[in-house]
Chains A and B, each alone.
Chain A
């Protein structure tokens, strides 16, 4: 363990020198204000048109019920809306506003929406070239000629990556809160959020529903996002080992992720898609109680699929990295 620490230190410093993390922070600094502004407009519009949130929510329910009557709406959407309507009804019945405009609520919905594509994308930004860049620049030879075992070198890179995944998620949380708080205020930590909706087909079973304070919800949500981000990081890591060029490695991972987010929208017609890792990334849906992309998926299933992909990727990465010849 003692000899791995200096390696991790070395990798971390390299990562910081590459300024990749800085780029991520800059992206967040640009994007979050844009979303905050959009959200502010929505809140403003609701304030103008409706007397209080109860009416807004009821209108949302009625509007969705109306679209259920239309034959033009695809069945999967109907199913999704039916489930959401029942959840909103639950909030309304218990006189709890699910989307009070405040800083913490903004963070919650931002994280929810970015967990399938945006955060994985940022994780990729640091993970995709962690090995391949050493090859592109030729420094891999320097690294491997040292009297250190190859798997230790790869492990140090993996540990560094883990550090940065944690940092990226936390930074997103913090920046989101600080920026959105300017507009919506910094309150909302104690606001109750309902979780535990059980979905059977199109019916929502409310018997296990319980309120959690929003801060706890955020922590749990963050944890679930962390898990899927780690899986993305490990897969990107593997590709970075397998592919020589950084560009190729980024494009491969990006294609997989975007295919995933497209598939989640239309996967119901292809049930086997549930074995793909990218369809399983949005673990937060299980917490929020929204319907999974494909019927029959649940948390255990998704965690298993993700773990299998990650373990396989780790195996391949270490196997290839320790055995392959480094040619130039």
Chain B
């Protein structure tokens, strides 16, 4: 008799679950084959508010967002920290309050024109809007891309072509800076200036320096108009001591190079 009861329960449970699954199968197939697309309303009832003040001293904790290219990513630093994590760490010590990295949105190979579009993405907006401090590197790929490919001899590496490129991409940088400022007018925006990764190649040195200087000047022209923006120069570091600061790919800084960049950023933020 006992096995009779067991059988009954097993059969019942088995039939019920099979029926349920068969119905689910029907629904699933129907849903995949005839998807009913619908316009979705996004709940924007509570938009993120930018911080109320830009004064670090008045805050209990600092939130950092970093955007840009491979330098922000930390490429070339074996520890993976890059200047971003070093800044976060040292700033926390200097200010004696928690400093938190919201997002490191550095993307290898990103160019300024691509970043302009990225800033429309919701995730970028979230991070920028909530941050107290925004770290930015961009531009190196716009200008030195052809150098990375080892393409020194072609048209693309003549001074005039490069200077044209600089003028073109600087407009994108300006757009980026203004867009960040609009999203979060109370954040401190730190732009890390370009350096010349070709400083130790005799034939390239002068061209590289000229181009980098032009770029940094154009960047400064925008940054100077906004008190919440800072330009941190790096060109001088890599001019004289390039071999000690550059990584083996001859483009990105190494750990020591990032250390120096971080140090400079900190100097400007928390004297």
Contact A166 B21 (CB under 8 A): yes
Q: Which of B90-130 contact A (CB under 8 A)?
A: 100, 102-109, 121-124, 126-127, 130
B152 at the A interface (CB under 8 A): no
Complex alpha-carbon distance, A54 and B127, angstroms: 9
Contact A195 B31 (CB under 8 A): yes
Question: How many contacting A-B pairs (Cβ < 8 A)?
Answer: 166
Complex alpha-carbon distance, A221 and B25, angstroms: 7
Q: Which of A57, A62, A167, A219 makes the CB contact (< 8 A) with B104? A: A62
Q: Which of A92-133 contact B (CB under 8 A)?
A: 92-95
Q: Which residue of A lies closest to B108 (CB)?
A: A69
Complex alpha-carbon distance, A195 and B31, angstroms: 8
A209-B124 contact, Cβ under 8 Å, with A58-B105, A222-B21, A223-B25: no
Task: Return the CB mask of B35-56 against A: 1 if under 8 Å, else 0.
Answer: 1111010111000000000000
A149 at the B interface (CB under 8 A): no
Contact A163 B10 (CB under 8 A): yes
Contact A223 B28 (CB under 8 A): yes
A227 at the B interface (CB under 8 A): yes
A196 at the B interface (CB under 8 A): yes
Q: Which of B10-64 contact A (CB under 8 A)?
A: 10-11, 13-18, 20-29, 31-33, 35-38, 40, 42-44, 63
A13 at the B interface (CB under 8 A): yes
Q: Which residues of B contact A59 (CB under 8 A)?
A: 103-105
Q: Which residues of A contact B33 (CB under 8 A)?
A: 299-300
Contact B106 A62 (CB under 8 A): yes
Complex alpha-carbon distance, A207 and B38, angstroms: 8
The size of the chain A interface, using a CB distance under 8 A, is 57
Q: Which of A9, A207, A211 makes the CB contact (< 8 A) with B11? A: A9
Q: Which residues of B contact A55 (CB under 8 A)?
A: 102-103, 123, 126-127
Q: Which of B24, B44, B108, B122 makes the CB contact (< 8 A) with A222? A: B24
Q: Which residue of B lies closest to A57 (CB)?
A: B123
Complex alpha-carbon distance, A185 and B163, angstroms: 60
Q: Which residues of A contact B15 (CB under 8 A)?
A: 163, 166
Taking the nearest CB of chain B, how far is it from the CB of A175, in angstroms? 13
Q: Which residue of A lies closest to B124 (CB)?
A: A58
Q: Which residue of A lies closest to B130 (CB)?
A: A51
B154 at the A interface (CB under 8 A): no
Taking the nearest CB of chain B, how far is it from the CB of A314, in angstroms? 17
Contact A208 B35 (CB under 8 A): yes
Q: Which of A62, A167, A224 makes the CB contact (< 8 A) with B25? A: A224
A295 at the B interface (CB under 8 A): no
Complex alpha-carbon distance, A219 and B107, angstroms: 39
Q: Which residues of A contact B23 (CB under 8 A)?
A: 219, 223
Contact A210 B37 (CB under 8 A): yes
Complex alpha-carbon distance, A57 and B100, angstroms: 17
Q: Which residues of B contact A57 (CB under 8 A)?
A: 123
Taking the nearest CB of chain A, how far is it from the CB of B119, in angstroms? 13
Q: Which residue of B lies closest to A65 (CB)?
A: B107
A58-B17 contact, Cβ under 8 Å, with A9-B7, A92-B122: no
Complex alpha-carbon distance, A8 and B28, angstroms: 29
Taking the nearest CB of chain B, how far is it from the CB of A87, in angstroms? 13
Q: Which of B165-218 contact A (CB under 8 A)?
A: none
Complex alpha-carbon distance, A300 and B27, angstroms: 14
B3 at the A interface (CB under 8 A): yes
A277 at the B interface (CB under 8 A): no
Q: Which of A159-175 contact B (CB under 8 A)?
A: 162-167, 169-170
Contact B26 A223 (CB under 8 A): yes
Taking the nearest CB of chain B, how far is it from the CB of A194, in angstroms? 9
Contact B17 A170 (CB under 8 A): yes
Q: Which of A200-214 contact B (CB under 8 A)?
A: 206-212
A38 at the B interface (CB under 8 A): no
Complex alpha-carbon distance, A209 and B35, angstroms: 7
Contacts A13-B3, A54-B122 known; list 5 others, CB within 8 Å: A61-B123, A62-B123, A94-B40, A221-B24, A300-B33
For this complex, 29 residue pairs linking A to B, each with C-beta atoms less than 8 Å apart, are A9-B11, A51-B100, A54-B123, A55-B102, A57-B123, A58-B105, A59-B103, A59-B104, A61-B123, A62-B103, A62-B105, A62-B106, A66-B107, A69-B107, A92-B121, A92-B123, A93-B42, A165-B18, A166-B17, A167-B17, A170-B13, A196-B36, A207-B37, A210-B40, A220-B31, A222-B24, A226-B18, A226-B22, A299-B33
Question: Closest 6 interchain pairs by CB?
Answer: A223-B24, A163-B14, A223-B25, A58-B123, A220-B28, A196-B35
